[in-house]
Structure 1
Amino acid sequence: MSGSPLSNHNGGDLFERLKAATASDWDAYVDHPFVRGLGDGTLPVESFRHYLAQDYLFLIQFARAYALAVFKGDTLAEMRQAASGVSAILDEMSLHVRLCEGWGLTAAELETVPEARATVAYTRYVIDTGLRGDLLDLQVALAPCVVGYAEIGATLAARPGALDAGNPYRDWIAEYAGEGYREVARRSRAALEASAAVRLSEARFDRLAGIFRQATRLEADFWQMGLTRAD
């Protein structure tokens, strides 16, 4: 690791610095038309169903990314934190299957859905980043998804009518705005900051910002894939 560990004095924590460095890309992700459609209930149902099926495949690959984080951990605490991420995702899969069934997608159908190009591009980028780099590189690549969904959920939940019975996507919004998922995001963010405390140098920040930017853009592409139902 080049340089000395980065002090956060006057700079905020790493996640906020990464967001600030990639502000236009971050805004395009968290305020994508797909997201706005969830908030006001105007998202076409078929777009949401396409997204749900691809998100199932996405979660499988993210479980593998967290398994890689176990390998990349330098301490038992880091390995345990990453292992808890694997368990959380695998536990979430059963909940996701039930959500999909509520939208007419059976477990058997989910097993046969091919990965869309946007799904492959995003998930393999995250895994490749982890393979090539260290734990901090991987955590930065994961952060736009894990922490970003909590921000999106909270923002949507605060919009008038988003949680009303007339919005078909209110359960999705409530899930990511809820305390359970906020705690997942807080733990992930805390792990990122703990990792940065021992691995981050000022000279390294620009490269991490590049990882964060690319992952954020791929998140926006994932929304776009859902919106247009691209394969």
Structure 2
Amino acid sequence: MAFSDRLLDAGEEVWAAQKDHPFVRELARGTLEEAAFEHWVRQDYRYLLDYARLFAIAGAKADDEATMTRLLGVAHRVLDEEMDLHRSFAADYGISAAELERTEKAPTCVAYTNYLLRTAYEGSIAEIAAALYPCVQGYLDVAEHMADLADDDHRYTPFIETYTGEEFREATAWCRSFVDRCGEASPGEHDAMEAAFLRSAKLEYRFWEMAYTLEGWGL
């Protein structure tokens, strides 16, 4: 069994919970409240800045040129393309790029990004691979589930199409192979990789909950 499959088996319960979350089900059907999607856009924009940092640090730690090139390329693509998509989503709600940049991270976003960056700085390349994997594979799997649930096109269709598109599928396949290579090269780190994967997967679930409940600091 590929190590990425072992991780997905370990995270099966979290994956099921994500797919059953009301944010996911309602977005798929086009009934999600605009405020919840707007909150997701704002928070995910702030998340992506640190996600790009995660890939950049991973690239600096990579010990072969091809992996370094790919990881740094992903960091650039997140900053250059995926964040531009979020700016486009935000513009539909009258939110400027400056407002996105001023958005305060919600507690869950703080917890998730702090965890990823701590792993990036303190962990091995294998742990980083496992920690970043739930976001990539999770969004593809959840978006495919949304596509199955969706009856017709609606205002959230571009979200579903983005995360089920060929470019995102190719990126997910590369990350999956990256995890597998790390698992094969570092058998002594399998437990640490699984722990990192599960922590990120649980935080992915909490991110949907954060957006749906409009989580803030209450101050």
TM-score normalized by structure 2? 0.93
1:10-21 alignment, distance < 5 Å: 12-21=1-10
Mapped to 2, the partners of 1:172 and 1:38 lie a distance apart of 9
Q: Greater CA deviation, 180-189 or 141-150?
A: 180-189
Matched-pair contact (CA < 8 Å) for 1:68–1:130: yes
What SS class does the counterpart of residue 158 from structure 1 fall into?
Answer: helix
Say whether 1:111 aligns with 2:101: yes
Matched-pair contact (CA < 8 Å) for 1:30–1:148: no
Deviation of 1:160 after TM superposition, in Å, equals 4.4
Say whether 1:184 aligns with 2:200: no
1:7 equivalent in structure 2: none
Letter aligned with residue 182 of structure 1: R
2:50 equivalent in structure 1: 61
Deviation of 1:58 after TM superposition, in Å, equals 0.6
Deviation of 1:215 after TM superposition, in Å, equals 0.7
Of Structure 1 and Structure 2, which has the larger fraction of its residues in helix?
Answer: 2
Mapped to 2, the partners of 1:70 and 1:188 lie a distance apart of 13
1:84 to 39, 64, 73: 73
Deviation of 1:168 after TM superposition, in Å, equals 2.0
Mapped to 2, the partners of 1:108 and 1:31 lie a distance apart of 34
What SS class does the counterpart of residue 149 from structure 2 fall into?
Answer: coil
Mapped to 1, the partners of 2:61 and 2:18 lie a distance apart of 28
Aligned Cα root-mean-square deviation (Å) = 1.4
Deviation of 1:30 after TM superposition, in Å, equals 3.4
From the CA coordinates, give the structure whose radius of gyration is larger: 1
Mapped to 2, the partners of 1:81 and 1:30 lie a distance apart of 29
1:221 equivalent in structure 2: 206
Which consecutive residues of structure 1, in runs of 5 or more, have no partner in the other structure?
1-11
Question: How many residues are paired up?
Answer: 215
Matched-pair contact (CA < 8 Å) for 2:134–2:204: yes
Mapped to 1, the partners of 2:45 and 2:52 lie a distance apart of 11
Which consecutive residues of structure 2, in runs of 5 or more, have no partner in the other structure?
none
Letter aligned with residue 202 of structure 2: R
Letter aligned with residue 94 of structure 1: D
1:195 equivalent in structure 2: 182
Superposed CA offset, 1:155-184 (max 9, x none)? 2112241xx23x321111111111121111
Letter aligned with residue 37 of structure 2: F
Mapped to 1, the partners of 2:67 and 2:59 lie a distance apart of 7
Deviation of 1:74 after TM superposition, in Å, equals 1.4
Say whether 1:155 aligns with 2:173: no
Superposed CA offset, 1:174-224 (max 9, x none)? 11111121111112112222222212x1x5323222111111111111111
Superposed CA offset, 1:49-80 (max 9, x none)? 01100010011010111111012111112211
Q: Greater CA deviation, 49-58 or 73-82?
A: 73-82
Mapped to 1, the partners of 2:134 and 2:95 lie a distance apart of 27
Superposed CA offset, 1:120-175 (max 9, x none)? 100111111122211110010010001111111122112241xx23x321111111
1:5-84 alignment, distance < 5 Å: 12-84=1-73
Matched-pair contact (CA < 8 Å) for 2:183–2:190: no
Counterparts in 2 of 1:30 and 1:130: CA distance versus 1, 3 Å: farther
Mapped to 2, the partners of 1:99 and 1:179 lie a distance apart of 20
Superposed CA offset, 1:21-65 (max 9, x none)? 232122212332211111112211100001100010011010111
Mapped to 1, the partners of 2:128 and 2:192 lie a distance apart of 12
Say whether 1:145 aligns with 2:100: no
Mapped to 2, the partners of 1:180 and 1:74 lie a distance apart of 26
